[in-house]
Amino acid sequence: MKRMKTKELRGLGKEDMKNRLEELRKELIKHNAQIATGTVPKSPGQVKQTKKTIARILTILKEKKKEEKKKSSKTQEEKTSESKIKEG
């Protein structure tokens, strides 16, 4: 599987990233099973690459969640300040 760059991952939607994450986790399970049974994977570096891509996706998802939370808190602050202005 081709390594996805961080820019490419950021361009994906939330659902696409979650689907991609699920695929990568399944792939990692396959690699780990191969290693556990003693068979050599086609590319030993693939395990490391898969783990790193999973970490990238999780990081991006967490960043997006943090941004959404920050935006929602700003809108809450704006609403409360508007209501204070109307009252005062």
**pLDDT of residue 88 exceeding 60:** no
Which domains are seen in the chain, by residue range? 6-69 (1.10.287.310)
**Non-local CB neighbours of 10 within 8 Å, separated by 6+ positions:** 60
Q: Give the pLDDT of residue 29.
A: 94
> What would you measure as the largest C-alpha separation in the chain, in angstroms?
74
The type of residue at 79 is K
Q: 14: pLDDT confidence band, cut at 50, 70 and 90?
A: confident
71: left (phi over 0), alpha (psi -120 to 50) or beta: alpha
Report angle CA 35, 39, 40 to the nearest 5 degrees. 80
Q: 1: pLDDT confidence band, cut at 50, 70 and 90?
A: low
